Amino acid sequence: MVTAVEAVQPRRISLLLGALVMTGALLVGLAFGARLGLLMIVGALLGVSLYHAAFGFTAAWRVFISERRGRGLRAQMVMLAIAVVLFFPALGAGTLWGQSVSGFVAPIGVSVVVGAFLFGIGMQLGGGCASGTLFTAGGGNARMAITLLFFIVGSLIGTAHFAWWMDLPALEPVSLVATFGAGGGIAVSLALFGAIAVLTVLLEKHRHGRLEEAPRANFSQGRWFTGPWPLLFGAVALALLNFTTLALAGRPWGITSAFALWGAKAYEFIGGDVSQWAYWQSPGNAAALEASVWSDITTVMNVGIILGAMVAATLAGRFAPTLRIPLGSVMAAIIGGLMLGYGARLAFGCNIGAYFSGIASGSLHGWVWLVAGFAGNMLGVRLRPWFFDRPPSNRTRAKVS
């Protein structure tokens, strides 16, 4: 039985963390502009949404690959559908509420295919994607802190090799908004989302006879604050918050460029020099390297995601880190983290910057990322038993019980 004192303690911690978010947003806003301060709050709301909806890309893909359960994938299609309906008209106009806006549109080449494939393997070994790593680490998962550390290391290594990969064959960037217009791009995108959703339904019914029932939402007694939320609520929240990011930052939500920046800053702190690497000689990256890390939009939002997830976890009473991590799981976190970081740099982003925001931007490279990343997940699922204990079969469970 939970005592009154035990119930009050998490609320106090949540209030302290919430005050920390607001204080951080205020300080960042005063130092670098109000928009950046607001983006820290947007990041915190993303962290809360990701945690309470348990909106993970990795688990959703693994469950579909291994069990043909597609509820998570269909939620992703809803998220993407809402995003393109919101994004494409703004990107076509070039402005949104007085802010100049542009999407993440990248070339399609060998680096994208290889990078997304490596990232997909890393998702299953590391136990999360870019957003998943941040919100689960913020939620108290100590293993994911290991994944995050090596995610940063892999990102730094990726910037060292970036020029070599960019010299490999690639096609010019393709934008559905530029090619078909905002309306035509929306129609094409919605047709593709619908086709994927229908395919998951057919495959799930073929395997199980019927679709998995979603847990019923219960928002009585403060469930909005303590969770859990239905997946679809998470899908809507992520789409709306990504659109808010576009309005405030002038570009969509991204995550992993900050990991490369953190790695470069740390490397230079211990005496290294990345300034001669081609990746860090582009005007934008060179400026970020010279400036305060707190002036970086992606950094500020990532910190917000971590703090937001911590708030959500404490409100839910589930913030309980443990350092008892099996060796195989640690090794998978290290290898997976390196692959996540390295793959994200080659592929111009991760499941957020390339897949979610890339497709929301109308970039064809986002769709290529989806196919190559999903293929990597298929291999990653097969590799997981090398590092993780297999769950007992139904027959074994019956004998034990």
Q: How do residues 180-198 score in pLDDT, each as one tens digit?
A: 999 999 999 999 999 999 9
Q: Which two tokens stand for residue 264?
A: 């470069």
- 6 has a pLDDT exceeding 60: no
Distances (CA, A) of 206 to 44, 159, 200, 381: 40, 44, 10, 21
- 264 has a pLDDT exceeding 90: yes
DSSP reduced 3-state for 100: strand
Distance of CA 198 to the CA centre of its chain: 24
- 222 has a pLDDT exceeding 80: no
Domain ranges within the chain, ordered by starting residue: 4-207+229-389
Q: How far apart are the first and last CA of the chain?
A: 26
- 205 has a pLDDT exceeding 70: yes
Show contacts of 355-358: CB within 8 Å, 24+ apart: 355/57, 356/79, 356/80, 356/83, 356/238, 356/242, 356/252, 356/253, 357/103, 357/104, 357/242, 357/252, 357/253, 357/254, 358/103, 358/104, 358/105, 358/106
Q: Are 120 and 375 in contact (CB under 8 A)?
A: yes
Whole-prediction pTM value?
Answer: 0.92
Distance from C-alpha of 58 to C-alpha of 46, rounded to nearest angstrom: 17
Confidence of residue 5 (pLDDT cuts 50, 70, 90): very low
Number of other CB atoms surrounding residue 225 within 10 Å: 15
What is the pLDDT at residue 140?
A: 85
pLDDT tens digit sequence for 277-306: 999 999 999 999 999 999 999 999 999 999
- 111 has a pLDDT exceeding 90: yes
Residues 166-176, mean pLDDT to the nearest whole number? 96
Distance from C-alpha of 18 to C-alpha of 210, rounded to nearest angstrom: 42
The phi and psi torsions of 214 (rounded to 5 degrees) equal -80, 145
What is the pLDDT at residue 271?
A: 96
Confidence of residue 8 (pLDDT cuts 50, 70, 90): low
